[in-house]
Amino acid sequence: MADTRRLAPATWRAAEAAHVARAEGLTATYRERRGRGESHAVEDFLFTYYPVKPSLLARWSPGVGVVLEDAAGSRLAGARWFREEGGDVELDRARFLADRGGAVRFHHALLGAVADRPARFDCFGLHEWAMVYGEAADEHRHPLPLRLGEEATDAVVRSHRVQCSHIDAFRFFTPAAQPLNTLQPSRETQVAMDQGGCLHVGMDLVKTSIHLGPAVPGDLALAAFELARDIRVLDMRASPYDVSSFGLAPVAIETPAGKAEYVAAQRDFSVRADGVRHRLLDVTTRVLAG
pLDDT score of 1 more than 70 = no
Check residue 3 and give its pLDDT.
Answer: 75
93: confidence class by pLDDT, cuts 50, 70, 90: very high
Q: What is residue 175's predicted lDDT score, i.e. its pLDDT?
A: 97
Q: What integer is the mean pLDDT of 235-261?
A: 98
pLDDT at 47 over 80: yes
Per-residue model confidence as pLDDT tens digits over 23-43 = 999 999 999 999 999 999 999
The answer for residues whose C-beta is within 8 angstroms of residue 4's C-beta and 6 or more apart is 65, 66, 67, 90
Verdict on whether the full-model pTM lies above 0.75: yes
Contact 251, 265 (CB under 8 A): yes
Helices 256-289 and 205-212: crossing angle in degrees, nearest 10, is: 20
Beta partners for 105? none
Contact by Cβ (8 Å): 174, 130? yes
Question: Average pLDDT, whole number, for the chain?
Answer: 96
Q: Give 58's DSSP letter.
A: T
* Per-residue model confidence as pLDDT tens digits over 181-195: 999 999 999 999 999
pLDDT band at 61 (very low <50, low <70, confident <90, very high): very high
Q: Out of 2-6, 141-145, 162-166, 260-264, pick the least confident.
A: 2-6
Q: Report the DSSP pairing between strands 88-91 and 82-85.
A: antiparallel
Alpha-carbon radius of gyration of the chain: 21
Burial class (CB in 10 A: 0-12, 13-18, 19+), 132: buried
What pLDDT shows up at residue 4?
A: 83
Is a pLDDT exceeding 70 seen at residue 2? no
